[in-house]
Amino acid sequence: MVIDAKMALVAYERYFHAETLAEKDLALREHVASIRGHIRGLGRKDYHQLHGIQSLDYVLMFIPVEPAFQIAIEAEPSLIREALDHNIMLVSPTTLLVALRTINNLWRYEHQNQNARLIAEKAAKLYDKLRLFVADVEVMGAALDKASDSYQNAVNKLSSGRGNILRQAESFKSLGVEVKRDISPAMLKRDTTDDSEEMATLGVSSE
């Protein structure tokens, strides 16, 4: 925060030491004019636009003597509005700390708002990633279901029904065909075909 503390109070000193009302009135007008001139000169400097400075658009113009600040505002209330039009805030010893605390709170709230926006952006990105992951899981699940169905159909053709492949292959052994190694017993157990159905198919009675 840029704070200007170079306000000259020469006219106010003359006002303070003036002995007549005429002298006080003249010194007061010069004091107001001095503040107005300082406001305009400070406004032309555009401190907030200097390279490397990250500050508010406003500059605090510090008037170090409280009575000098108060008497100028009482004589010319428009000074406050005129200062604001030049992006300047008039502050005195009693209002400087209040202004700085207010600015600090505004900065803290702005920082919190920036964090909230950042959290919202990250949450949106995370949600989108999760949505894509769920979609991939659904596709993978559908593929696994299809693979499972294909596997079951293949096993059914291999070991289920009359004249299934396993039963036919095993019958070769009863016909004297020599094999190097038997088919997996676990796979043979899948054959649930009723022998009577198989014999009926072959035209052989079970009696």
Q: Write out pLDDT tens, residues 17-30.
A: 888 999 999 999 99
Mean local confidence (pLDDT), 116-121:
82
Element (H, E) at 60: strand 59-62
- Residue 204 pLDDT level (bands cut at 50, 70, 90): very low
Mean local confidence (pLDDT), 126-144:
86
pLDDT tens-digit map of 136-165: 888 888 888 888 888 888 877 777 766 677
- Has residue 198 got a pLDDT over 70? no
| Residue-averaged pLDDT of the chain | 80
The model carries a pTM of 0.50
The region, left, alpha or beta by phi > 0 then psi within -120 to 50, assigned to residue 161 is left
Given a contact cutoff of 8 angstroms between Cβ atoms, the answer to whether 39 and 79 are in contact is yes
Residue 206: predicted pLDDT: 43
Residue 57: predicted pLDDT: 74
Give start and end residues of each alpha helix (H) in the chain: 10-17, 21-43, 66-75, 78-85, 93-159, 165-174, 185-188, 195-202
In terms of Cβ atoms closer than 10 Å to its own Cβ (0-12, 13-18, 19+), residue 202 is exposed
Share of the chain above pLDDT 70, in %: 84
Residue with more model confidence, 102 or 65: 65
Residue 62: predicted pLDDT: 92
